[in-house]
Amino acid sequence: MLLESAQLEWRAVPKDWLEQAKSVASISGDLPRLSDVDLDVLALAVGLSLELVTDDYRLQNAYKNHGGQVCSVNTKGAGQVWKWELRCTGCRATFPVPSDAKRSKRGAVGECERCGSPTEIKRMKKR
């Protein structure tokens, strides 16, 4: 079988590595848009201090923000490193992305602590 001939090393992600990956993704602001599998991959890259090979721009961004090296397979790769924040759709207040942020591929990722309106992930404006 092809997988057996590739001599892959299968690993379970230690809980502390997963927490570290959530922290890394929270700092960059990418956490709300990463899946469980994305976090597992990020945790392995962070925990093993390896180059991350992926075409996923969110993963690349989070790992580059952490100082890790990335390599793209079929794309040019993320050209810039961005930071993301939560922005209220009502009062427009901004908040850092917490490490326990709700994760979903689209839409609101929480509620504003000031006015209760939905918050969305937006690219942080240069200040």
Q: Residue 93 has which token pair?
A: 């207040």
Query: Of 33, 49, 71, which residue constitutes the final position of a domain?
Result: 71
Give the per-residue pLDDT at 103.
85
Give the per-residue pLDDT at 105.
83
Indicate whether 16 and 66 sit together in one domain: yes
Indicate whether 67 and 88 sit together in one domain: no
> Per-10-residue mean pLDDT for the chain, 127 residues long?
69 94 94 95 96 94 95 84 94 91 85 94 82
76 part of a folded domain: no
Element at 19 (helix H, strand E): helix 15-28
Indicate whether 15 and 66 sit together in one domain: yes
3 part of a folded domain: no
Which bin fits 110, alpha (ψ -120 to 50), beta or left (φ > 0)? left
Indicate whether 41 and 63 sit together in one domain: yes
Give the per-residue pLDDT at 75.
83
Indicate whether 88 and 67 sit together in one domain: no
Q: Comparing C-alpha atoms, which of 38, 37, 88 is closest to residue 59?
A: 38
**How many domains does the chain contain in total?**
2
Give the per-residue pLDDT at 2.
65
pTM for this predicted structure: 0.82
Give the per-residue pLDDT at 40.
96
Indicate whether 67 and 107 sit together in one domain: no
Domain that holds residue 110: 84-123
